[in-house]
Amino acid sequence: MLFVATALGALVAVDRAQLPSAGQWFGVLGTTVLAAVLATLFGVGVGAVWNSVTGPVVTLIIWMIVVENLLMLGILGPLDLSWLGGVLPNNALNGIVGALAAASVGAAGPSAAHGLSENLRWTLQSFAGSPGSYAWWSATLVFLAWTLAFLGAGRAANRGRDIT
């Protein structure tokens, strides 16, 4: 579904001459699958740490939809600290696909148009789902670190639990 949304967004927003190549489309599809796998493992890790189902689900929804967006739009963006957004879990996860999608239409990375103002580039990255994120591979590494941290903490928490 994420791939379809990304593809539709590119088709609507980008001039036909600037549409991504077939390789870029397959790159977005591959990073979508990678992001889904990492997000699943991240959720398993958070759930294992919390030892509950409802608590982590509600907390992650509130954190990823409300808190991180408020941080990016209300605090980090105006303070010119938007680069910090790339290390937050949701922005790193969004950056896996979003940064590649933004780069494929020229809004981020080395293919970014030189005439874009910094505000317009940040806005385009925001619509691509990657405000303040880095390249797709570095966003993957950042989110992999979050995933491994929560999986490790969940494993440690479960070692001490009595399951009888």
**Domain extent listing, the chain:** 32-155
- For residue range 117-159, list pLDDT tens digits in order: 766 766 666 666 666 667 888 889 999 999 999 999 999 998 8
pLDDT at 110: 45
Has residue 58 got a pLDDT over 90? yes
pLDDT at 156: 92
Instruction: Round to whole Å and give the CA distance between 39 and 121.
Output: 26
In which band, very low, low, confident or very high, does the pLDDT at 111 lie, cut at 50, 70 and 90? very low
- For residue range 69-98, list pLDDT tens digits in order: 788 777 776 777 767 777 889 888 888 887
CB 145 within 8 A of CB 89: no
Selection from 93, 99, 90 nearest residue 136 by Cα: 99
